Amino acid sequence: MNYLRILFFGIGCISTGVLLTACGSRVERDVPAISVHFEVVDSLVVAYLGELSLLNEKPNGSEFLMFDFRASTYVRVARDGTIQYAKKFGKDDKDSHGDVMVSAGYLDDSTIAVFGMQGYYLYDLRFNLKEKKPFPFQVFTNSVGGAHGILQMGEFLFTNRYPDDVSGGFFEKPDYLASFPFLTLYDWRNDEIRAQQYIPSESKLIQRPGKYREPAPHAVVHEGELLLLFFYSPEIYRYSLPSLEPLGSIALQPDATYSQVKPVSDMGSGFEQFFTDLAGSSYFHFSQVGSFLLTGYKAGVPQIEVDALPRDRVGGPKFMELVEKYKKNHYQLVLEGEKVWEGPLDVEFRHSGRRLYAHRHLARMQPKEELDYVVLYFYDVSLDRENTPL
């Protein structure tokens, strides 16, 4: 693999007791200037025609598990980019998990675990089924395929659980998200729910009752704690493990590009959800990078411009113009429980469970033509602080 030392610098203004409206504002005291370095420290080139997403790395770091969502194909790739094995599963194929894949990864150096909406499936390295078992519940998420719906931590899984009983118009109640302990820690080896917790009452999902496209939070283990970030609430919630006792929260305080999304009255009613998501912001990324926590959210579109769109369709030229103009990626760095930087970056960061990566190099133009290979760039993050008079 290539070792690349290209730095991308982001400068942010952080308020420390004074209100800054822009980096050029004048104040009567010093504030810290933050230089953030997103450094490409490694890369991986795979000779593959299509799109590959990195799901996980082997515990010994010798290979990567990837997935082609269009072709429904798992691909094992060595550290030098050589494809070790590829397996395409049809729904009714022998040994197929036949379930929607929520997340997947190496359980150890010889076993691959696939976690679905309704159970888990263990395979050898050639995807011969070794073991399968249903969950005593269903995962409650609208994001699947190596996404955030399940976090595996040894014998524990953290997930967002579907309610046990949805009779009596459960989902029609405006405050249904406050009426069930969705947050669940499950001992998947012993088939036991170890702890459960309600969505925090301080979160926007509870403060503003209604229906949201994605109820399940992003989850990260950091310094022995479980940290949760909901798509539509700009706080990180801290929990003990394995008891899921609340330990407080970290306010992310996003800048003016963030727009709080509104709940909808009916997820299945027309195109309301699309226009609501267009106007509002959502957190699409949460990861640990070294000693930092990295979050990413999509900026919102001014409501007045959303209201001017025709309501009989989505995805038209005017709709996409607003997406291109406003829905930019903004990232935040948190260190020792405090947000220390925020800024826009034209990149879609992802995390393999061990490392931060992206499909583009920040210091290079993004190729527009289709390539017959896949490139992943692995990033490290650092920052410098110095008191600079403004």
Residue 374's contacts (CB-CB under 8 Å, 6 or more residues apart) are 45, 46, 48, 50, 51, 52, 359
Burial status of residue 181 (CB atoms within 10 A of its CB: 0-12, 13-18, 19 or more): middle
Strands in 100-199 per DSSP E = 101-108, 111-116, 119-123, 129-134, 150-153, 156-160, 183-187, 192-197
CB atoms under 10 Å from CB of 231, counted, come to: 26
> How far apart, in Å, are the Cα atoms of 354 and each of 32, 61, 211, 378?
30, 9, 33, 10
Q: How far apart are the first and last CA of the chain?
A: 43
Spatial neighbors of 308 by CB under 8 A, at least 6 apart, are none
- Number of C-beta neighbours around residue 264 at 10 A: 19
pLDDT computed for residue 32 by the predictor? 58
Tokens of 86: 């590829």
Name the one residue in this structure whose structure tokens are 């931060």. Answer: 356
**Can you tell me the distance from the alpha carbon of 275 to that of 327, in angstroms, rounded to the nearest whole number?**
13
Number of neighbours of residue 375 by Cβ within 10 angstroms: 17
Q: d(Cα 209, Cα 196) in Å, to the nearest integer?
A: 21
Q: Are 174 and 210 in contact (CB under 8 A)?
A: yes
Largest CA distance in the chain: 71
Neighbouring CB atoms inside 10 A of 115's CB total: 24
Q: Starting at the edge strand that comes first in sequence, how are the strands of the sheet with 53-57 ordered?
A: 53-57, 63-68, 73-78, 83-88
> Quick one: pLDDT at residue 339?
96
Regarding pTM above 0.75, the answer is yes
CB-CB contact of 123 with 95 (8 Å)? yes
Q: How far apart are CA 206 and CA 199, in angstroms?
A: 7
| Cβ within 8 Å of residue 311, ≥6 positions away | 270, 271, 275
How confident is the model at residue 104, as a pLDDT?
A: 93
Alpha-carbon distance of 321 to 316, in angstroms, equals 9
Tell me the C-alpha distance between 45 and 212, whole Å.
38
Q: How far is CA 77 from CA 44, 57, 71, 209, 377, in A?
A: 10, 10, 16, 44, 15
Angle between helices 272-279 and 317-326 (to 10 degrees): 30
pLDDT along the chain (390 residues), means of 10: 34 30 31 79 95 92 93 95 93 81 92 94 96 94 75 94 89 92 96 97 96 93 96 98 98 97 74 91 96 97 95 88 97 96 95 91 79 93 66
Rounded Cα distance, 199 and 208, in Å: 13
Residue written as tokens 């997820």? 267
Domain boundaries, the chain: 32-38+254-389
